[in-house]
Amino acid sequence: METTTNIPKYTLNAEEEKKEILRQYRGLLRVLKPKLKPGNKEMLRIAFEMAAEAHKTMRRKSGEPYILHPLAVAKICVEEIGLGVRSTLCALLHDTVEDTDITLEDIQREFGSEVAKIVDGLTKISTVMDTNSTQQAENFKKILLTLTDDPRVILIKLADRLHNMRTLDSMKREKQLKISSETVYVYAPLAHRMGLYNIKTELEDLAMKYMEPDTYKYIAQKLSDTKRERTKYINDFIRPIREKLEKSGFDFEIYGRPKSIHSIWNKMKKKGVAFEEVYDLFAIRILVNSAVEKEKEECWKVYSVITDEYTPSPERLRDWLSNPKSNGYEALHTTVMGPQGKWVEVQIRTMRMNEIAEKGLAAHWKYKEGKDDESRFDKWFHQIREALGNQDSSSIDFLQDFKTSFLAEEIYVYTPKGEVKMLPIGATALDFAFSVHTAVGSNCIGAKVNHKLVPISHKLRSGDQIEIITSAKQKPNIEWLNFVVTSKAKSKIKDTLKEEKRKVAEDGKYILSRKLEGMGAAMSHSNQEELAAFYKVNSTLDLLYDIAIKKIDLKELKEFIVAGDKLVHPKPVKPVIPEEKTVVDITARPYNKKDAELIIFGESSDKIQYTLANCCKPIPGDDVFGFVTTGEGLKIHRTNCPNAARLLANYGHRVVKTKWAKNKEISFLTGLKIIGLDDVGVIHKITNLISGEMKFNISAMTIEAREGIFEGNVKIFVHDKDELDELVQRLIALPGIERVDRYDTE
């Protein structure tokens, strides 16, 4: 298992370096060979020499020459994504415009406008994603604009991110966290949406390696320990199927492959089971070599051979042959009961489908050439362009909406005439109404799903047929924002509400202008801003709206003095100080960037005021980061906190490196959930261990027993994670105890 370290591991001398660079370049040409046309080699050499010359004085954090990075990215583009010569040129040059003296004009002159445009897109993205500004989400919009211009930009960017993740060891810890969160939050879902499953799973696994190193190592170790028995099981499972398929004359490949560490961890969390109980640690894949017109038929034949041998689970059949996913994925998935009472997932697809599953978008285009049908990809790009057209939404909202609207799995639903519409999982009847037309959405009062009347908030399922019921009297209200997940519906509802608000605010404007006139003050923007700050509302629009609906009655205006035509309040407005504080150090000073490296919790010499985040309740020894909030100072979160990926990805510049100091004076409240067999004396054993033997203070304890199983919740004060881990180990060792899980106390 690799360990994370910040020491450069690179030790080649200049001569060896040159050889290594040439070796990598030749390796790139080798994988490109089938795609090379006359004159390509020459262009590639020019691009390589241009990049090598431009980056010659630069080194990566590991100490290696920088040019090795563009070479590696280009190789990923060709080998793992299936891109061609033009994309290789762009990958070689992707960092030159941003980091060196080479200009976009130089690239255009040498390689033409198409390559220059892609490099420009890549430059925009990197100045975007690696900045320390709150602009990250704003930048994400730019990325998507480039994506819809030329999707190769995003594919090369994914290759760039994959190589950075593979070489993240030499980075500082906070950089590792920031880059990993961004990867999990934006890039892995994008890779999935582009149909690049292998890259998506590798990105998730690598991010987990840095964000949850202990769990990652634990699962990797378990996988390695169980490899032999898994291989034996796969072989036993495959043998009878292979024989039957050979007998039926199929041309096929069959093999088992392990699930990714990240997906195993997700299963463990979602189902609340231990590693040993995750039944589908691997999937069996069958690839059929079939003519395009016979693909469907042959996949179903293979399905019937498998289900003759093993009993399938009816709920677990996924038919993406009839309805491919919008990222082009086609396959048949089923879960069957294998030997020894174990469930096994089987994936059936043809060689063509497999290439699309592995290479996503690039393969999709290869097979699409010559066909003029608008693919699901094109529809998806069209929807993104539409969402980007709405410039009004705040960027952070946009990023959140984008994730739920465009990166989620989708469902297929039907209009009354039988047209298929694709919506993200979690979409409601109201989302469907807006997807039909803005006016239909705005006037929607209900729907009939499969001919049954349902409210607008009804969540849709794949296969539903929906008819929308409208009324001219209906109009959107703020509640509606809780019922929709698609970006289109959200932005249209917000637009309408804003418009309504503006109309009402006109009355407020009139009332305020009369009052100000009477005082001799101007109805200026700065005066409105002053009053908005005084009444603690978010904007001047809110101020005028609240005046109109009589929420603000302006009697405090008499406290203001008019200087010239400006309003001035004699007492400066005090900011509201949040009440909830778990501050360890009373002698706090304001947060200073210089302290970023120094924060050590619990040492009075450091005098930094911090709060423990309520969402994840860290205790000393947890892997944590500090987050500078607005108005509440420094908050400490665990790196595996449910909000961590969002905070680190959107506000990376506010993250502060943090570590714990040993301090036995301070105790932290945490909770344990204990599940086991309801045996005589079991409660006594638990309390005796916690407070008697290990001397922990119990803050609260509840026990519920039902049908021979008990579930206990214990809140205790501990000094640090080591103590907690020891307690968990000793509790699990007690007879009859099945599981012990930490939870975050309220």
Where is 54: in which H helix or E strand? helix 40-54
**430/455 Cα distance (integer angstroms):** 9
**475/211 Cα distance (integer angstroms):** 45
Where is 704: in which H helix or E strand? strand 697-706
By the 8 A CB rule, do 721 and 704 touch? no
By the 8 A CB rule, do 319 and 332 touch? yes
Q: Annotated catalytic residue: which of 17, 20, 99, 150?
A: 99
Q: Is 99 a catalytic residue?
A: yes
Where residue 217 falls (left for φ over 0; alpha for ψ -120 to 50; beta otherwise) is alpha
Give the residue among 366, 387, 376, 371 at the shortest CA–CA distance from 141.
387
Instruction: Write the CB contacts of 742 (distance below 8 Å, at least 6 apart in sequence).
Output: 670, 671, 672, 673, 724, 728
Determine how many CB atoms are found less than 10 A away from the CB of residue 451. 8
The strand pairing partners of 257, in sequence order, are: 283
What residue type is assigned to position 504 of the chain? V
Instruction: Write the CB contacts of 369 (distance below 8 Å, at least 6 apart in sequence).
Output: none
Q: Which long-range contacts (CB under 8 A, 24 or more apart) does 25-33 make?
A: 25/71, 27/75, 28/71, 28/74, 28/75, 28/78, 28/88, 31/75, 31/78, 31/79, 32/78, 32/84, 32/85, 32/88
Q: Annotated catalytic residue: which of 98, 150, 529, 725?
A: 98
Token digits of residue 489 = 């519906």
- Pairing verdict, β 659-660 and 600-601: parallel
3-class SS letters over 413-452 = EECCCCCEEEEECCCEHHHHHHHHCHHHHHCEEEEEECCE
Would you state the torsion angle of the CA atoms of residues 485, 488, 493, 494, taken in this order, to the nearest 10 degrees? 100
Q: Kindly write down the DSSP assignment for every residue of 564-603, as one continuous string.
A: TTEEE-SSPPPPPPPS----S-SS-B---GGGGGT-EET-
**198/79 Cα distance (integer angstroms):** 12
Token digits of residue 375 = 């693919």
| Catalytic sites, residue numbers | 98-99
